[in-house]
Amino acid sequence: MMVYKYKRLVVKLGTSTLTSGTSHLSEEPLSNLIAQIAALCDGGCEVILVSSGAMAAGREALSFPKLPKEIPAKQMLSAVGQPRLMAIYETLFAHHNHTVAQVLLTRQDLTQRRSYLNSRNTLLALLNQKVLPIVNENDAVTTEEIRVGDNDNLSALVANLVDADLLLMLTDQPGVFTSDPRTNPKAKLLKEITSSEIPEELWKSASNSKDELGTGGMITKLQAADLARRSGTNVVIASGTEPEAILRTAKGDAIGTYFKATATTLESRKRFILSGTVPTGKIQIDDGAISALQNVSSLLPVGVTSILGEFDRGDTVAVIDINSNEIARGLTNYSSAELSKIAGRQSKDIESILGYYYGEEVIHRDQLVLIHTPN
Ligand code: GLU
């Protein structure tokens, strides 16, 4: 059995990888990449694929129509292309007995706390069922304000959402160079970046390189790498044509450019929970629940004695003891209205009380930071 260094990986395939630099989606490189992803999943890893190519598939399906550059034309193309892209994935993954799922996201789904929790739970539920999520931006309907805009940054946000160990961005370049290798023959491939900040010269040289087919270029890849490593995810940027690129990266072989994570996923989640204003919503809990939290358990409704203020599912709330000392802060699975109905009750009764169920915890352990230990 192969031993992999990373357990949960986000793999990002760009348009240039899917088309081999042409204007047509080509199944050949794709089937090879898919065989590698299937092997990873069979070896016990969890993989989320972020795939571009919807617009390219749409253009191909409509025989390369001449269209204005405006947004509706692009949205139309991705609406035509997205199901075709998924059909290709579905067929190719079926050869390896893997089921795929389509998840279309926008920036809003990833940054607003309520939808953030929902998107996270959906992706984790798919992984639990051994279904491979294939993510793209919901291009057909997103407006400029709520778009991520490129799948490099989208893949970093997804990596953050699911606490991935590794984000692998496959592209048409062997990695990140000291300057653009297409114009400067002296450009050198950078093996790794371990400094806490990505060097300024790299940002400069990346801003001059552009990718013809996809939306991103090296600059969006660097932005994505920067974002992902700050949230605790290691990043590799490598060429999709490198033999066994996915499997070798997952084993920890040095290919392409490696960016070491600058925080742990736990630190980053804590920062996320503690960021923002002091919560106005409060959940008061009993002594039994306090000991449970101190013993690394989740907060269950049975330990909740009262609810102060109004809050929504996904909001950050303060968890307080009977003397109003703050014990912890976390993202709540239930709104104040819902909690007032289930406070003091057993988790198994949640569904019959509310008529639905967001999980047995009021605040899951992973979404909770202990703040203060009373004497
Ligand atoms: N979401 C776009 C598509 O599927 C791609 C965006 C990108 O290339 O970064 O065509």
pLDDT tens sequence across 136-174: 999 888 887 778 889 999 999 999 999 999 999 999 889
Which CB contacts under 8 angstroms, 24+ apart, belong to 202-208?
Answer: 202/176, 202/178, 205/177, 205/178, 205/179, 205/180, 206/176, 208/180
Q: CB neighbours of 294 closer than 8 A, spacing ≥ 6?
A: 370, 373
The residue type found at 13 is L
Distance CA(366)–CA(375), nearest Å, equals: 24
Distance CA(355)–CA(360), nearest Å, equals: 14
Distance CA(38)–CA(180), nearest Å, equals: 33
CA of 194 to the centre of ligand 1 (A): 29
What atom of ligand 1 comes closest to residue 150's alpha carbon? 9
Reply yes or no on whether the pLDDT at 116 is more than 50. yes
- pLDDT band at residue 321 under the 50/70/90 scheme: very high
Mutate which of 88, 139, 141, 237 to test ligand 1's pocket (most atoms within 8 Å of Cβ)? 139
Mutate which of 17, 62, 137, 142 to test ligand 1's pocket (most atoms within 8 Å of Cβ)? 137
Q: CB neighbours of 332 closer than 8 A, spacing ≥ 6?
A: 281, 283, 311, 313, 314, 315, 316, 317, 339, 362, 363
Nearest to 246 by CA among 11, 84, 51, 76: 11
What pLDDT was estimated at residue 259?
97
For residue 246, how many other CB atoms are within 10 A of its CB? 27
What pLDDT was estimated at residue 210?
55
Q: Which CATH superfamily is domain 276-370 in?
A: PUA domain (2.30.130.10)
What pLDDT was estimated at residue 373?
56
The whole-number average pLDDT for the span 311-323 is 93
Mutate which of 16, 55, 158 to test ligand 1's pocket (most atoms within 8 Å of Cβ)? 55
What CATH code would you report for 8-269?
3.40.1160.10
What pLDDT was estimated at residue 374?
44
The whole-number average pLDDT for the span 17-25 is 89
What atom of ligand 1 comes closest to residue 213's alpha carbon? 8
> Angle, nearest 10°, between helix axes 54-61 and 71-94?
100
Reply yes or no on whether the pLDDT at 353 is more than 60. yes
Ligand 1 pocket, CB under 6 A: 14-15, 52-55, 78, 136-137, 139, 150-151, 214-216
Instruction: Give the residue extent of every domain in the chain.
Output: 8-269, 276-370
